[in-house]
Amino acid sequence: MQDKPTGAEIRQSFINFFVERGHTFVRSSSLVPGGDSTLLFTNAGMVQFKDVFLGTDQRPYTRAVNAQKCLRVSGKHNDLEQVGRDNTHHTFFEMLGNWSFGDYYKREAITWAWELMTEVWHLPKDKLWATYFRDELNEIPEDREAADIWLAQPGFNPDHLVPFGRKENFWEMADTGPCGPDSEIHIDRGLDFCEFGDDPDHICAVNGDCGRFLEFWNNVFIQYNRLSPTQLVPLDKTHVDTGMGFERIVSILQDTPSNYKTDLFLPLINTIQVMAGQNDHEREANLTPYRVIADHTRATTFLIADGVVPGNIGRNYICRMLVRRAARFGMKLGLHDPFMADVAQVVIDEYGDFYPELKRNATAILDNLTREEKRFAKTVHAGLEHLDELLTDIKTKGGQSLSGEKAFDLYATLGLPLEITRDIAQEQGLDVDGAGYEQAMEAHRLISGAGKDFGELGGEQVKVYTKLLEELIDTGKLSQSGVHYEPYRAIEEPVEVLALLNNGAPVETVQTGDLVEVLLPKTWFYVESGGQVSDTGQIVNAEGKAWNVQVTGMRKPAAGVIIHIGEVTRGNPRVGDLALAQVDRDRRIQIMRNHTATHLLHSALQDILGRHARQAGSLVAPDHLRFDFNHPEPMTREELLTVEARVNQAILTNFQLRIAQKPLDEAIKEGAMALFGEKYEGVVRTISIGEEDVLSYELCGGTHVDETGDIGLFLITYEGSIAAGIRRIEAVTGWQAYQVARERMNLLDQVNVKLETSPTEILTKIEQLTQSLASAEKEIDRLRKKLVADEFDQNLDKVEQIEGIPVLKAILPNANIDALREMSDKFRQQYPSGVAVLASEQNGKPILIATITDDLVKRGLNAVELVQKVAQIVGGGGGGRPTLAQAGGKDASKLHEALDQVHAYLRGSLDQQ
Ligand SMILES: [Zn+2]
Ligand SMILES: [Zn+2]
């Protein structure tokens, strides 16, 4: 049987398949949708491409393939209560997709889908089903085109093509906008997957109500623009948008009855089992807690990596709730100390290669989980006890549900999220009044006036910032466009602290040790974008009040709002104080060197390797730069050195950088390079390097050195592959480059001292040493053979006669297996009829050779049987031919005892004629 592919292999095979067909691999966007405050979390692969379909965003490619991180905690198809109770519901999941933006259409999409499923993944053709659109209202034309393409696929069963109406097979982004028919692909998993097998009225069907037919891929064909409920107009350019449920396809290809039994979850489940100390039977009896913990830990690990830490509102509340729900289910397995970090570490190990943000943020992930579990542990017992009293009380009074007010009180005072309260109530057959909970929350907000939106979903967190922004604009503290962002020149004058936030809520003042978000009217701290990391630094008081905020990160939580994230390291900052924002300059300069070097590297790669070597991703950090680009094979050493030299040439020429603002169309027409995954607006910033002959011309919002000479030195430290057709280069510049060079030279100096030579002589010296070592080894080999031969000759005196046959048993301590074989030959030359068993010890392990002459083989002896019988004593086994066999073992100390077996064997095996 073939080995089942791993989840990582399946993900990669999907990507490779479409990369090979001209698609550009686009990295997953964050779980926090950029610039879309209507959406709590990225919930589908198309979120990052939405604006491309709407025509407000342009990309430098027309075919894309991606694997997108998604999270759903509420909604028609994914109620949180379901997660953990069955085999298929998840909060976090991945979506695979291939995309055409005005490029190919239905024929390619369906033909490739069929090819991938049947020829790459070898799914059985007779188990696959497809649907196409036929309008039940007869207003929109039937999608005959898709139907005919399906029928033309080799081996596709025409009976497996079924039409469906608007609900299943017509996709719309919103009430108006791009839309079109779609085609779903289902697989028949067989009768075992049907839950209603006993019901005579039940018929299994595609889009039916049982688990037998599983939809795993939807291909959407965008061809209309909806102007009103009754008005559809055809689009000039048609698009393809597909989404494949990754967990589903893995479960299909690994042939598991549950997504949780795939290798996407099993390592997590196994870790939980070890911590819980349960055997397999106990685990199967307790699947719900295992599934909840595995799902929620995976989700929160990815959330924290994307900057969503446990907190009180919006997204942060979801993270908190998921950690606490997992912790509560952990208690059912006897896990009372924080345990999620151990499970999260497995998530990081398993997923970190494809999602490097997990590795990058590993410390933050583990720390945040443990901290939140500890916070919860402080109140959970009181909370659970109190809830239990409340539920018992309801039951004795014959009630049905817990009031929303009490449920809210449990969260506000004892930290029990509504979702946990509901879990527990449902376990006891009771309900919780969700609407009442909302009301109580609203009342609380009015009373406290703090604007704390406890546990509300949907853009609430953004609302805190937009509300703040509105107030500041109303009072004239900020202009209509919000915070003034000017990362390209230092702001030296004091500015007023406009707002401070602690725990997601605005506060008047904060204290030493508090985590804080600081809002200033303008800032020159760079906010992570285009691969360049955020600045760090400090905000100090400008009026002698002696307070200090250490800024560790930057964020744009809503349009017009930029906040400095940090910790108060001294004093009590207060809203209205005057402050000076100081970027860590050395770090910024090193980042600028790396960013400009990245542009030079990009252009050198295109020169040396060809135009296809386009940027596929980059990281510009203070200590190194990382550059991913399209190229089908490893770079040769010569290519690497040429690229490195080309960049250093540009550095030494000391080009001035020319930075300009111009309309996007104009820049693209002039040949400026636009980068994948970046969103550009009407007017763009361009960076060009080079005089008449422009070396590099890119759209870029990053910070750069004034002239290339500022970079100092550029050294490549790594070249490797990260995905099919995508290579990665890592490099250092400036001070780091100097350090790398200095360390190598130090090492060379040390080697010279050890070898008593000089840099110019070192290679000759090493060659001499290698040669003399080789001849010494040869000599040693010759001497050893002589030694073994001498030992053997001495042993020849000990040849015994057993049953009239000459038998030699000997241990030759210095012999390797070749030498033993040679000695066996020698024995046979001296004794045309005889048996020899020779043994030795190699690296502490016994080795054995048995030889039996042909005449004795005819009398029933067999070297294989003999060597096996002997090797058994030393804990091993072996094989070979009847005349010559060899064996190994474990315990060399038993060799003498083992050789004693020879007699018994001979007596027992000779034909008694
Ligand atoms: Zn069924
Ligand atoms: Zn750039």
pLDDT tens digits, 740-756: 999 999 999 999 999 88
Helix (H, G, I), strand (E, B) or coil at 196: coil
- pLDDT-based confidence at residue 38 (cuts at 50, 70, 90): low
Q: What distance in angstroms lies between residue 193's CA and the mean position of ligand 1's atoms? A: 7
Give the whole-angstrom CA distance, residue 32 versus residue 565: 17
Q: Which residue matches tokens 């696959």?
A: 128
Ligand at minimal distance from the CA of 529 is 2
pLDDT given for residue 77 in this prediction: 47
Which of 107-111, 254-258, 279-283, 761-765 shows the highest mean pLDDT? 107-111
Q: What distance in angstroms lies between residue 210's CA and the mean position of ligand 1's atoms? A: 5
Percent of the chain with pLDDT over 90: 56
Q: What distance in angstroms lies between residue 671's CA and the mean position of ligand 2's atoms? A: 15
Give the whole-angstrom CA distance, residue 868 versus residue 186: 55
Helix (H, G, I), strand (E, B) or coil at 228: strand
- Tokens representing 413 are 């005072």
Alpha-carbon separation of residue 107 from 104, 133, 142, 153 (angstroms)? 8, 15, 16, 10
| Average pLDDT of span 227-238 | 86
> For residues 135 and 189, is the Cβ–Cβ distance under 8 A?
no
Ligand at minimal distance from the CA of 203 is 1
Q: What distance in angstroms lies between residue 366's CA and the mean position of ligand 1's atoms? A: 43
Which of 607-621, 637-651, 802-816, 878-892 shows the highest mean pLDDT? 637-651
pLDDT given for residue 793 in this prediction: 86
- Tokens representing 31 are 């779980």
> For residues 295 and 84, is the Cβ–Cβ distance under 8 A?
yes
Q: What distance in angstroms lies between residue 196's CA and the mean position of ligand 1's atoms? A: 5
Ligand at minimal distance from the CA of 619 is 2
Q: What distance in angstroms lies between residue 205's CA and the mean position of ligand 1's atoms? A: 7
Which of 293-297, 788-792, 904-908 shows the highest mean pLDDT? 293-297
Ligand at minimal distance from the CA of 699 is 2
Ligand at minimal distance from the CA of 532 is 2
| Average pLDDT of span 169-176 | 85
- pLDDT-based confidence at residue 677 (cuts at 50, 70, 90): very low
- Tokens representing 798 are 């000990």
Q: What distance in angstroms lies between residue 499's CA and the mean position of ligand 2's atoms? A: 32
- pLDDT-based confidence at residue 250 (cuts at 50, 70, 90): very high
pLDDT given for residue 459 in this prediction: 44
Q: What distance in angstroms lies between residue 209's CA and the mean position of ligand 1's atoms? A: 7
Quote the DSSP letter at residue 618. E
Residue bearing the bigger pLDDT, 858 or 455: 858
Give the whole-angstrom CA distance, residue 761 versus residue 884: 51
Ligand at minimal distance from the CA of 196 is 1
Contacts of 212 (CB under 8 A, 6+ apart): 188, 189, 190, 191, 193, 194, 204
Which run of H or E residues covers position 907?
A: helix 901-909
Burial class (CB in 10 A: 0-12, 13-18, 19+), 545: middle
Give the whole-angstrom CA distance, residue 230 versus residue 226: 8
> For residues 909 and 893, is the Cβ–Cβ distance under 8 A?
no
Q: What distance in angstroms lies between residue 214's CA and the mean position of ligand 1's atoms? A: 11
**Segment among 471-480, 599-608, 638-647 with least mean pLDDT:** 471-480
Q: What distance in angstroms lies between residue 599's CA and the mean position of ligand 2's atoms? A: 6
Residue 725 has pLDDT above 80, yes or no: no
| Average pLDDT of span 127-153 | 95
Alpha-carbon separation of residue 718 from 258, 607, 640, 644 (angstroms)? 41, 20, 10, 12
Q: What distance in angstroms lies between residue 581's CA and the mean position of ligand 2's atoms? A: 24
Q: What distance in angstroms lies between residue 640's CA and the mean position of ligand 2's atoms? A: 21
Ligand at minimal distance from the CA of 625 is 2
Give the whole-angstrom CA distance, residue 10 versus residue 248: 11
Ligand at minimal distance from the CA of 688 is 2
Q: What distance in angstroms lies between residue 520's CA and the mean position of ligand 2's atoms? A: 26
- pLDDT-based confidence at residue 679 (cuts at 50, 70, 90): low
Ligand at minimal distance from the CA of 211 is 1
**Segment among 339-343, 734-738, 841-845 with least mean pLDDT:** 841-845
- Tokens representing 451 are 């604007």
pLDDT given for residue 454 in this prediction: 35
Which of 78-92, 434-448, 608-622, 850-864 shows the highest mean pLDDT? 850-864
Q: What distance in angstroms lies between residue 530's CA and the mean position of ligand 2's atoms? A: 7
Q: What distance in angstroms lies between residue 127's CA and the mean position of ligand 1's atoms? A: 15
pLDDT given for residue 411 in this prediction: 87
Q: What distance in angstroms lies between residue 677's CA and the mean position of ligand 2's atoms? A: 13
User: Number of helices and strands (H, E) in the chain?
Assistant: 27, 34
Residue 789 has pLDDT above 90, yes or no: no
Ligand at minimal distance from the CA of 672 is 2
Nearest CA-CA partner of 690 in 642, 731, 722, 657: 657
Q: What distance in angstroms lies between residue 289's CA and the mean position of ligand 1's atoms? A: 28
Give the whole-angstrom CA distance, residue 126 versus residue 103: 31
Q: What distance in angstroms lies between residue 122's CA and the mean position of ligand 2's atoms? A: 43
Residue bearing the bigger pLDDT, 455 or 600: 600
Ligand at minimal distance from the CA of 192 is 1
Ligand at minimal distance from the CA of 212 is 1
Q: What is the mean pLDDT of the chain?
A: 89
**Segment among 194-203, 301-310, 328-337, 454-463 with least mean pLDDT:** 454-463
User: Identity (one letter) of the amino acid at 456?
Assistant: E
Alpha-carbon separation of residue 99 from 52, 177, 235, 238 (angstroms)? 11, 18, 17, 11
Give the whole-angstrom CA distance, residue 721 versus residue 629: 10
pTM over 0.75: no
How many C-beta atoms surround the C-beta of residue 41 within 10 A? 23
Ligand at minimal distance from the CA of 697 is 2
Q: How many CA atoms lie within 13 A of 284 on its CB side?
A: 4
Contacts of 423 (CB under 8 A, 6+ apart): 81, 325, 328
Q: What distance in angstroms lies between residue 303's CA and the mean position of ligand 2's atoms? A: 27
pLDDT given for residue 461 in this prediction: 63
Ligand at minimal distance from the CA of 657 is 2
Alpha-carbon separation of residue 92 from 217, 307, 446 (angstroms)? 18, 15, 34
Q: Is 546 left (phi over 0), alpha (psi -120 to 50) or beta?
A: left
Triad 242, 245, 249: Cα angle to 5°: 115
Q: What distance in angstroms lies between residue 40's CA and the mean position of ligand 2's atoms? A: 30
Residue bearing the bigger pLDDT, 460 or 35: 35
How many C-beta atoms surround the C-beta of residue 86 within 10 A? 14
Q: What distance in angstroms lies between residue 206's CA and the mean position of ligand 1's atoms? A: 10
- Tokens representing 217 are 């891929």
Give the whole-angstrom CA distance, residue 348 versus residue 353: 8
Q: What distance in angstroms lies between residue 674's CA and the mean position of ligand 2's atoms? A: 10
Q: What distance in angstroms lies between residue 756's CA and the mean position of ligand 1's atoms? A: 81
Length of the chain, in residues: 913
Q: What distance in angstroms lies between residue 215's CA and the mean position of ligand 1's atoms? A: 14
- Give per-residue pLDDT as tens, 423-434: 899 888 898 988
Contacts of 258 (CB under 8 A, 6+ apart): 87, 88, 251
Give the whole-angstrom CA distance, residue 455 versus residue 457: 6
Burial class (CB in 10 A: 0-12, 13-18, 19+), 825: exposed
Ligand at minimal distance from the CA of 526 is 2
Q: What distance in angstroms lies between residue 739's CA and the mean position of ligand 2's atoms? A: 25
Ligand at minimal distance from the CA of 687 is 2
Q: What distance in angstroms lies between residue 688's CA and the mean position of ligand 2's atoms? A: 10
Do the strands 24-25 and 484-485 form a parallel or antiparallel pair, or are they unpaired?
unpaired
> For residues 325 and 420, is the Cβ–Cβ distance under 8 A?
yes
- pLDDT-based confidence at residue 612 (cuts at 50, 70, 90): confident
- Tokens representing 429 are 């057959």
Q: What distance in angstroms lies between residue 181's CA and the mean position of ligand 1's atoms? A: 27
| Average pLDDT of span 337-345 | 96
- Give per-residue pLDDT as tens, 452-477: 333 333 345 677 888 898 899 889 99
Give the whole-angstrom CA distance, residue 619 versus residue 627: 7
Give the whole-angstrom CA distance, residue 903 versus residue 655: 88
Alpha-carbon separation of residue 415 from 210, 382, 434, 497, 650 (angstroms)? 38, 10, 17, 32, 59
Q: What distance in angstroms lies between residue 373's CA and the mean position of ligand 1's atoms? A: 42
Q: What distance in angstroms lies between residue 698's CA and the mean position of ligand 2's atoms? A: 7
Q: What distance in angstroms lies between residue 207's CA and the mean position of ligand 1's atoms? A: 11
Q: What distance in angstroms lies between residue 397's CA and the mean position of ligand 1's atoms? A: 42
Q: What distance in angstroms lies between residue 208's CA and the mean position of ligand 1's atoms? A: 8
- pLDDT-based confidence at residue 678 (cuts at 50, 70, 90): low
- Tokens representing 493 are 């004058």
Give the whole-angstrom CA distance, residue 236 versus residue 219: 19
> For residues 300 and 322, is the Cβ–Cβ distance under 8 A?
yes
Nearest CA-CA partner of 859 in 910, 904, 908, 902: 910
Q: What distance in angstroms lies between residue 106's CA and the mean position of ligand 1's atoms? A: 31
Give the whole-angstrom CA distance, residue 499 versus residue 579: 12
Burial class (CB in 10 A: 0-12, 13-18, 19+), 278: middle
Nearest CA-CA partner of 97 in 224, 207, 238, 240: 240
- pLDDT-based confidence at residue 172 (cuts at 50, 70, 90): confident
**DSSP class per residue in 374-393:** HHHHHHHHHHHHHHHHHHHH
Q: What distance in angstroms lies between residue 186's CA and the mean position of ligand 1's atoms? A: 14
Q: What distance in angstroms lies between residue 555's CA and the mean position of ligand 2's atoms? A: 19
- Tokens representing 207 are 């889009």
Q: What distance in angstroms lies between residue 187's CA and the mean position of ligand 1's atoms? A: 13
Q: What distance in angstroms lies between residue 93's CA and the mean position of ligand 2's atoms? A: 32
| Gyration radius (Cα) of the chain, Å | 36
Q: What distance in angstroms lies between residue 198's CA and the mean position of ligand 1's atoms? A: 9
Ligand at minimal distance from the CA of 659 is 2
- pLDDT-based confidence at residue 301 (cuts at 50, 70, 90): very high
Ligand at minimal distance from the CA of 686 is 2
Contacts of 273 (CB under 8 A, 6+ apart): 280, 283, 290
Main-chain phi, psi angles of 236, to 5 degrees: -65, -45
Angle between helices 585-609 and 734-755 (to 10 degrees): 80
Main-chain phi, psi angles of 128, to 5 degrees: -90, 140
Q: What distance in angstroms lies between residue 830's CA and the mean position of ligand 1's atoms? A: 79
Alpha-carbon separation of residue 76 from 72, 80, 82, 321, 457 (angstroms)? 10, 10, 11, 20, 15
Q: What distance in angstroms lies between residue 823's CA and the mean position of ligand 2's atoms? A: 71
Q: What distance in angstroms lies between residue 699's CA and the mean position of ligand 2's atoms? A: 7
Give the whole-angstrom CA distance, residue 739 versus residue 577: 42
**DSSP class per residue in 87-130:** SS--SEEEEEEEEEESS--HHHHHHHHHHIIIIIS---GGGEEE
Give the whole-angstrom CA distance, residue 64 versus residue 44: 15
Q: What distance in angstroms lies between residue 415's CA and the mean position of ligand 2's atoms? A: 45
**DSSP class per residue in 794-841:** HHHTT-EEETTEEEEEEE-TT--HHHHHHHHHHHHHH-SS-EEEEEEE
pLDDT given for residue 804 in this prediction: 86
> For residues 740 and 732, is the Cβ–Cβ distance under 8 A?
yes
| Average pLDDT of span 98-127 | 96
Q: Kindly provide the residue ranges of all beta strands, DSSP E only, lying in 189-302, ordered along the sequence.
A: 213-228, 231-245
